[in-house]
Amino acid sequence: MSYGQFEQFIRNMSRVMASVNTRLQRDLTMRSRLSRRFSQREVSEFLNVDPTYLIRVANEDPAFPEGTKVGRERTFSPDEIMLIRALLDANPNARRRYLHWRAPTEPMKVVTFGAQKGGTGKSLSAAHFAQYLNLFYGLRVGVIDADPQSTISLYFADDALPLFDPETLTIADFMGVGDPGAKEPTRHDAATLDSIWRPTSWPGIRLMPGGANIQNGDIAMFFMSRNAGIPIYRLLKDAIHRWENAYRPMTPTTEFRRPDGTFDMDRYGAALHETLDVIVIDQQPSLTLVQLNGLLAADSVVMPQTMKGFDLATLATFVNSIAEYLDFIVGYDKDFVIGAGAHFVLPTIVQEQNDRDTTQILDLYEQAPNETLQVWYARSDAIANAADEYKSIYEYMPDKNRRQSAQQFMRNANAVNDAIVGKVWPEFEQRGYAAEFIKDHWETEE
């Protein structure tokens, strides 16, 4: 094929794809983003309280949300669940925490999901983790989509966010490398950095969308790397710290109550959006300069990985390539602190009936118990059904025939995320989902 023919092919396909209705399901999802509501029993599980306690608080506190009555059941939205958390946490007699927001002196966590191989469920694992932290701990979460394909953005964007608009700012702009012709990074002030975060339908969750100009960031950094004085590997980490220092947690939940004991909705709403407690980064399945920045900005790195032999070969290539970069950086920048938290492989899309998959996990765990999660994502049709609608398992509302498999997969997601929380926040109270999974699967294996 000559260049002229290829050019014509590209132009024709560009014209055709502009008219093909590829966005129908995606647009339907964005218009109905987060329409799922949760029963009072589910809310009590998220908050780890007895349902009767919620009923008592609802009767005593005028600010308690009414929810929506569906038959004999009362249901609540994620916004209402977050408000209930705030009401409980602002109670001066509360015996434990319901909003696990970080203290003013506590640093913000950064957790990066990265893998070299595509198709490992990386983006969905990251989306599940962000939403789990929000539902089960009330954390304010920033989601950074570092993938030009904008995969994780589809699980958070609604029709108010111009997701595939070339003018939408991305991680490349946040790092100051959005212009591929620039000779040095742009050091944005904190207010400009803050404007790149976009609101989502989830209470307290903000999104930095993916987009094609992330590739511009790699081009820009490639040319900037010729200047030995520019540490391009730490641009994201420095930008995050610059933003974090300007937007710190300032409002304790005790200030949500007025002197007369009534709940101050305005003060609560401002505190919900004043900062973030954690940033979750979803990486592109490759090791580019932008992706290297995402790894080096992280306190903890989660590597979702399928367990086939050929797939594990890509993991070996990935970690060996990172090791070469680290050797250079540690020797060049001795004061640069890299990833002080827990780092581990998360097995995904595991065929539990396939002894080769589970044997591979056991082999990894025996050789690297601290670096291999004992909980995994099992292969499931339920998540494929949800993904067809660009929804996570925490948003998906299955029809009656699929309800049981969806509930089973949600239990699996809870176990995985409970295990990750235990690694990243060992000081947090775990919910027991991971322990139950390990008991069911590992004792059987033994």
User: What is the C-alpha R_g of the chain?
Assistant: 23
**Residue 10 resides in a domain:** no
The full length of the chain comes to 446
**The total number of structural domains that make up the chain:** 1
**Tokens linked to 440:** 């069911």
Residue-level pLDDT at 163: 76
**Residue 180 resides in a domain:** yes
**Residue 201 resides in a domain:** yes
In the chain, which stretches have pLDDT less than 50? 1-2, 21-22, 24-25, 445-446
Residue 324 has a CB neighbour count (10 Å cut-off) of: 9
Residue 335, burial from CB neighbour count under 10 angstroms (0-12, 13-18, 19+): exposed
Residue-level pLDDT at 353: 79
Cβ-contact 128, 302 below 8 angstroms: no
Cβ-contact 433, 373 below 8 angstroms: no
Alpha-carbon distance of 223 to 188, in angstroms, equals: 20
Alpha-carbon distance of 319 to 271, in angstroms, equals: 39
Residue-level pLDDT at 417: 98
**Residue 247 resides in a domain:** yes
**Residue 15 resides in a domain:** no
- Can you tell me whether residue 145 is helix, strand or coil? strand
Alpha-helix runs per DSSP H in 257-354: 265-272, 289-296, 309-332
As a whole number of angstroms, the longest Cα–Cα distance in the chain is 79
Cβ-contact 77, 267 below 8 angstroms: no
Cβ-contact 238, 177 below 8 angstroms: no
Spatial neighbors of 203 by CB under 8 A, at least 6 apart, are 78, 79, 81, 82, 134, 272
**Residue 1 resides in a domain:** no
Q: Is the dihedral of CA 391, 395, 401, 403 positive or negative?
A: positive
pLDDT in tens, 328-365: 888 878 788 888 899 999 999 998 877 788 888 998 89
Q: Is the dihedral of CA 268, 273, 274, 276 positive or negative?
A: positive
Cβ-contact 342, 416 below 8 angstroms: no
Residue-level pLDDT at 1: 43
- Can you tell me whether residue 51 is helix, strand or coil? helix
CATH code (residue 185): 3.40.50.300
**Residue 29 resides in a domain:** no
**Residue whose structure tokens are 């730490």:** 234
pLDDT in tens, 33-45: 557 899 999 999 9
Residue-level pLDDT at 34: 57
Sheet order of strands, 73-76 included? 38-39, 73-76, 68-70
Cβ-contact 124, 349 below 8 angstroms: no
Alpha-carbon distance of 322 to 343, in angstroms, equals: 13
Cβ-contact 146, 111 below 8 angstroms: no
Residue-level pLDDT at 313: 81
- For residue 264, what are the domain limits? 36-445
Alpha-carbon distance of 417 to 208, in angstroms, equals: 22
**Residue 6 resides in a domain:** no
Spatial neighbors of 161 by CB under 8 A, at least 6 apart, are 30, 153, 168, 198, 200, 207, 209
Residue-level pLDDT at 90: 95
Pairing between β-strand 68-70 and β-strand 109-113 as defined by DSSP bridges: unpaired
Residue-level pLDDT at 196: 97
Phi, psi of 69 (to 5 degrees): -85, 125
